[in-house]
């Protein structure tokens, strides 16, 4: 390594503009290494001669904070870096300083990225590169390549590289470039594949004609896709309303309304297959009317019974035969016109499959959106760095109103103060008996809340037994509303009790308080729903032996939904409007109530659970839910604008949406799926109505069909085989579970390894930073010494330093 090379550091004497990036820098890194090595040798020799101490760190006088950190600071006494112009010139040529540079630097940086993308090459072989610390720099960095320096040439190269990428990659690359829009537009125009001239088409070969056709097809489809996308954006509902809400209340309140929109999408996704394959078909082939149809009274809108019972709304209407079948044998001597080309439609099978497939699609969509939301909002190491994230990422640029921005200022100030206080608290460990007392209070409050939940569950159970025993018949429709009323009252009242109890306990972090409140409310709602499900499937089925119990369950769920909607309206009215009036009269200043995000979201999740529970028994229930969600949106928006203010607690909007969708998936959808599976596999359907009236379980419809296929012949024998060995037997499930567990374990190990790698890289980064500062300080000292020795040389004759060959005197 130590060659005695006469190194020429070609740095001219006259100070030039350090921003001129085309300037000579030590490109050739091996020479730089050598020169530094020799400089260090020289300096140690001088130091040994003059007996100075080598200082490796410069804790400048402008070090941060009164305590003085051990961080190396490049600060001089005034707080600004003090370097000679020669050092500054070298610093300005450092490859990491790309941000302040000309567009040429950005272009060349993106050129190298594009090249890497196109060639898909990783780091080159070390032996090809020679002695250099940063091989990637050598091969790919256009900035240090002395051959190409002009901006236009760099731009031309970039355009050529962009042409080699696919359309999607090019758009992605262009979108990420920090250039102005007009430049990006020019680059995109230039990098489009050139269109051949029309009149010359005849002269070209067939191959180029095909490629032109292909290119124009691709372009046309791309434009069509863009037009569709913009059309879709225009179709999206409530765009302006959401903008206003975001502008006045910030991202956290907006997350509630976005969640509502997501639920609307899920319900539409659920409704479409049901409409197409069940409701539509049955409506086109109505069964023979059985008995008299009762007249329409207004009460049906609340109870769902009466006139609505024998319509497509409920399970009992659907026939159990094959519709539109060309009849082979005329029954009871009647005329049977065989419809040539009519498709026979097996209604029971269609019912079972459509409900199953709709649930499956919903499950996949839910899990996908949950995992994507989780991936976006949780990072390895995201709990550290709270201060930096609060300072840089907490100002919401959406907010436009003056009073809302003032609220934001207050929120951020409070957050920063809390963080500082927390930091100081951590230095002082809390007393042991204080913690014991806190734990005792926490335990007591939890006990009380769970006790309240138990009491509510018992109340619902006993009331449902009472209703069962009093044998409410269909005439006394009004009394059917009693159970839903009780359930909704409990769902409304118990959370207020929880809030009162939660005021007793004191949590360290306000976010934890919110999560605990959500947890308690969720437990209450799920327990009540569980009791109701047991009541329907366990008790009602037995009581309503000769009647259509599925219709009854569907109607119960309809009633619950309607009651829930009415109580939501009441809660909005009482909780927000009346509260605001009272608080305005009591205290003269404007003390508007806060918008309770958690409570409202839980209500949405509860409503959606009811829909999922009832889909099997009432296929049109998602349509009711859609109408209900539309109303709730407008009611909540109006109430929000008029009565509420944004919550004071810091809410991380992205964490919240992840939590919301996880809660939608885990207790809510999972519970509904378990209910559905139990109803399909274990419960005997009623024998007088519905598509499964002659079967033992609903699932038997599928088994009957498979048997039918087996008899049909050897051509479709693979389907019964799949049914027998994959669906009926338990072995594939065990295998799938074992595989899933193995995959999860491997992923956990991978994440652990990545965490370790991140730690190591952080250490390496900090070491590199220290190295850099050390080298820069050394460089600075070299130049200072050179200056001093030069100045000294003009005064007296001193032997020139052996390292540098001075070209300067020669100039």
- By CB under 8 A, the residues from 748 to 777 that bind other proteins are 762, 765-766, 768-770, 772-773
Residue 420 interacting with other proteins (CB under 8 A): yes
Cβ closest to other proteins, residue 105 vs residue 706: 105
62 sits in which H/E element: none
The two structure tokens encoding residue 50: 């003059």
Q: Three-state SS across 112-167?
A: HHHHHHHHCCCCCCHHHHCCCCCHHHHHHCHHHCCCCCCHHHHHHHHHHHHHCCCH
The answer to the question of residue 654 lying near other proteins (CB under 8 A) is yes
212 vs 390 by CB, closer to other proteins? 390
SS3 readout for 689-709: CCCCCCCCCCCHHHHHHHHHH
Is 382 a binding residue for other proteins by CB under 8 A? The answer is: yes
Among 24, 79, 326, 338, contact with other proteins (rule: CB under 8 A): 79
> What does residue 532 show for φ and ψ, rounded to 5 degrees?
-65, -40
How does DSSP classify residue 7? -
Closest to other proteins by CB, 67 or 337: 67
Tell me the closest approach of the beta carbon of residue 801 to other proteins, in angstroms: 30
Among 29, 32, 238, 246, binds other proteins (CB under 8 A): 246
Q: Check residue 394 for interaction with other proteins (CB under 8 A).
A: yes
**β-bridge pairing 322-323 and 345-346:** antiparallel
Q: Could you count the other beta carbons within 10 Å of the beta carbon of residue 631?
A: 13
Decide whether 35 or 93 has the Cβ nearer to other proteins: 93
Nearer to other proteins, 655 or 786 (CB): 655
Contact positions with other proteins (CB under 8 A) in 82-111: 96-100
| Options 285, 296, 395, 437; binder of other proteins; rule CB under 8 A | 395
State which of residues 385, 443, 451, 792 lies at the interface with other proteins (CB under 8 A). Answer: 385
Task: Decide whether 46 or 515 has the Cβ nearer to other proteins.
Answer: 515
Nearest to 15 by CA among 86, 101, 116: 86
| Least CB distance to other proteins at residue 461 (A) | 43
Tokens of 489: 């009252």
Q: Which stretch binds other proteins (CB under 8 A): 267-275, 371-379, 553-561, 567-575?
A: 371-379
Nearest to other proteins of 117, 474 (CB atom): 117
Give the residue with the Cβ less far from other proteins, 208 or 764. 764
Q: How far is the CB of 377 from other proteins (least distance, A)?
A: 4
- Of residues 212 through 241, those in contact with other proteins by CB under 8 A are 240
Which is nearer to other proteins, 4 or 67 (by Cβ)?
67
To other proteins, the closest distance from the beta carbon of 515 in angstroms equals 17
CA distance 258 to 264: 10
Answer yes or no: are the C-beta atoms of 346 and 698 closer than 8 Å.
no
The residue among 150 and 376 lying less far from other proteins, judged by its C-beta, is: 376
Count the residues in the chain.
811
Q: Are 601 and 260 in contact (CB under 8 A)?
A: no
Helix (H) or strand (E) holding 356: helix 347-377
Q: How far is the CB of 514 from other proteins (least distance, A)?
A: 16
Of 37, 195, 214, 406, the residue at the interface with other proteins (CB under 8 A) is 406
Query: What is the helix (H) or strand (E) element at residue 491, kind and residue range?
Result: helix 482-502
* Contact predicate 563/303, CB 8 Å: no
**Any contact of residue 423 with other proteins (CB under 8 A)?**
yes
Report the run of H or E that residue 367 belongs to, with start and end.
helix 347-377
Return the residue of 3, 290, 324, 401 that touches other proteins, per CB under 8 A. Answer: 401
How far, CA to CA in Å, does 677 sit from each of 155, 536, 537?
62, 15, 12
Q: How far is the CB of 183 from other proteins (least distance, A)?
A: 9
**Cβ closer to other proteins: 97 or 131?**
97
Q: Which two tokens stand for residue 736?
A: 């799938």
State the nearest-atom distance from the C-beta of 69 to other proteins, in Å. Answer: 7
Q: Which of residues 250-269 bind other proteins (CB under 8 A)?
A: 251
CA distance 505 to 759: 38
Size of interface with other proteins, in residues (CB under 8 A): 74
* Of the candidate residues 296, 378, 681, 734, the single one contacting other proteins (CB under 8 A): 378
Closest CA to 482 of 504, 466, 469: 466
33 binds other proteins (CB under 8 A): no
CA 477 to chain centre: 45
* Residue 190 CA: distances (Å) to CA of 106, 119, 193, 222, 698: 18, 21, 8, 17, 63
Site string for other proteins, 454-493 (x = CB under 8 A): ----------------------------------------
Pair 593, 647: CB distance under 8 Å: no
| Measured distance CA(194)–CA(198) in Å, rounded | 12
Q: DSSP character for 727?
A: I
413 versus 506: smaller Cβ distance to other proteins: 413
| 134 scored as a contact of other proteins (CB under 8 A) | no
Judged by CB under 8 A, the chain residues 35 through 64 that form the site for other proteins are: 64
d(CA 415, CA 393): 13
For residues 163 to 182, the per-residue mask of contacts with other proteins, x marking binding by CB under 8 A and - elsewhere, is ---------x--xxxx-xxx
Nearer to other proteins, 178 or 451 (CB): 178
Report the C-alpha gap between 544 and 163 in whole angstroms: 72
When asked if residue 69 is in the footprint of other proteins (CB under 8 A), the reply is yes
Among 655, 778, 781, 793, binds other proteins (CB under 8 A): 655
């Amino acid at each position: 390594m130590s060659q005695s090379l006469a190194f020429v550091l070609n740095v001219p004497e006259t100070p030039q503009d350090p921003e001129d990036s085309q300037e000579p820098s030590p490109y050739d890194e091996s020479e730089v290494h050598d020169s530094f090595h020799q400089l260090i040798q020289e300096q140690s020799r001088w130091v040994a001669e003059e007996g100075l101490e080598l200082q490796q760190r410069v804790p400048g006088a402008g070090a941060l904070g009164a305590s003085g950190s051990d961080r190396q600071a490049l600060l001089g006494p005034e707080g600004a870096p003090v370097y000679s112009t020669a050092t500054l010139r070298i610093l300005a040529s450092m490859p990491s300083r790309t941000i302040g540079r000309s567009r040429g630097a950005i272009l060349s940086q993106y050129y190298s990225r594009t090249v890497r993308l196109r060639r898909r090459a990783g780091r080159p072989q070390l032996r090809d590169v020679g002695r250099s610390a940063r091989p990637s720099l050598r091969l790919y960095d256009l900035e240090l390549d002395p051959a190409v320096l002009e901006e236009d040439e760099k731009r031309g190269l970039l355009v050529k590289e962009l042409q080699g990428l696919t359309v999607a990659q090019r758009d992605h690359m262009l979108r990420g470039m920090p250039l102005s829009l007009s430049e990006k537009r020019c680059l995109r125009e230039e990098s489009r594949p050139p269109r051949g001239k029309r009149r010359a088409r005849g002269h070209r070969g067939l191959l180029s004609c095909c490629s032109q056709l292909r290119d124009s097809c691709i372009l046309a489809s791309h434009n069509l896709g863009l037009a569709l996308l913009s059309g879709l954006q225009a179709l999206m509902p409530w765009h302006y309303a959401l903008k206003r809400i975001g502008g006045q209340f910030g991202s956290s309140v907006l997350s509630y309304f976005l969640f509502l929109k997501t639920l609307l999408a899920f319900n539409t996704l659920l409704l479409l297959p049901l409409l197409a394959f069940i409701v539509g078909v049955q409506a086109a082939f109505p069964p023979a009317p059985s008995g008299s149809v009762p007249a329409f009274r207004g009460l049906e809108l609340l109870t769902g019974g009466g006139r609505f019972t024998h319509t497509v709304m409920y399970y009992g209407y659907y026939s159990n035969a094959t519709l539109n079948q060309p009849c082979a044998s005329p029954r009871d001597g009647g005329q049977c016109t065989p419809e040539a080309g009519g498709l026979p439609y097996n209604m029971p099978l269609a019912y079972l499959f459509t409900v199953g497939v709709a649930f499956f699609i919903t499950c996949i969509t839910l899990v996908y959106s949950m995992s994507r939301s989780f991936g976006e909002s949780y990072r390895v190491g995201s709990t550290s760095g709270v201060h930096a994230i609060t300072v840089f990422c907490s100002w919401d640029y959406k907010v436009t109103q003056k009073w809302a921005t003032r609220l934001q200022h207050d929120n951020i100030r409070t957050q920063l103060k809390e963080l500082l206080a927390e930091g100081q608290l951590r230095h002082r460990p809390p007393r042991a008996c204080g913690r014991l007392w806190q734990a005792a209070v926490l335990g007591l409050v939890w006990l009380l809340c769970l006790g309240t939940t138990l009491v509510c569950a018992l109340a619902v159970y006993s009331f449902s037994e009472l209703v069962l025993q009093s044998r409410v018949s269909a005439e006394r429709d009004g009394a059917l509303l009693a159970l839903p009323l009780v359930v909704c009252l409990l769902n409304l009242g118990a959370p207020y009790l929880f809030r009162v109890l939660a005021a007793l306990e004191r949590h360290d972090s306000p976010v934890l308080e919110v999560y605990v409140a959500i947890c308690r409310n969720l437990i209450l709602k799920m327990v009540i729903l569980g009791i109701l499900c047991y009541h329907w499937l366990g008790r009602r089925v037995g009581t309503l032996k000769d009647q259509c119990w599925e219709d009854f369950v569907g109607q119960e769920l309809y009633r619950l939904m309607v009651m829930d909607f009415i109580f939501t309206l009441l809660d909005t009215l009482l909780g927000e409007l009346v509260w605001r009036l009272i608080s305005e009269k009591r205290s003269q200043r404007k003390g508007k109530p806060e918008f309770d995000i958690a409570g409202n979201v839980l209500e949405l999740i509860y409503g959606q659970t009811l829909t999922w529970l009832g889909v099997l028994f009432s296929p049109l229930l998602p349509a009711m839910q859609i109408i209900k969600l539309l109303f709730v949106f407008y009611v909540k928006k109006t109430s929000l604008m008029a009565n509420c203010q944004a919550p004071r607690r810091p809410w991380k909007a992205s964490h919240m949406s992840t939590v919301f969708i996880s809660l939608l998936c885990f207790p809510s959808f999972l519970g509904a799926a378990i209910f559905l599976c139990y109803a399909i596999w274990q419960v005997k359907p009623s024998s007088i109505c519905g598509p499964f009236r002659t079967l033992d379980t609903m699932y038997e419809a599928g088994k009957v069909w498979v048997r039918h296929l087996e008899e049909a012949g050897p051509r479709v024998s693979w389907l019964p085989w799949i049914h027998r060995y994959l669906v009926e037997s338990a072995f594939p499930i065990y295998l799938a579970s074992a595989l899933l567990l193995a995959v999860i374990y491997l992923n956990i190990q991978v994440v652990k390894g990545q965490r370790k790698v991140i730690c190591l890289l952080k250490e390496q980064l900090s070491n590199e930073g220290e190295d850099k500062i050390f080298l820069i300080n050394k460089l600075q000292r070299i130049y200072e010494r050179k200056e001093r020795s030069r100045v000294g040389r003009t005064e007296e004759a001193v032997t020139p330093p052996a390292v540098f060959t001075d070209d300067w005197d020669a100039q």
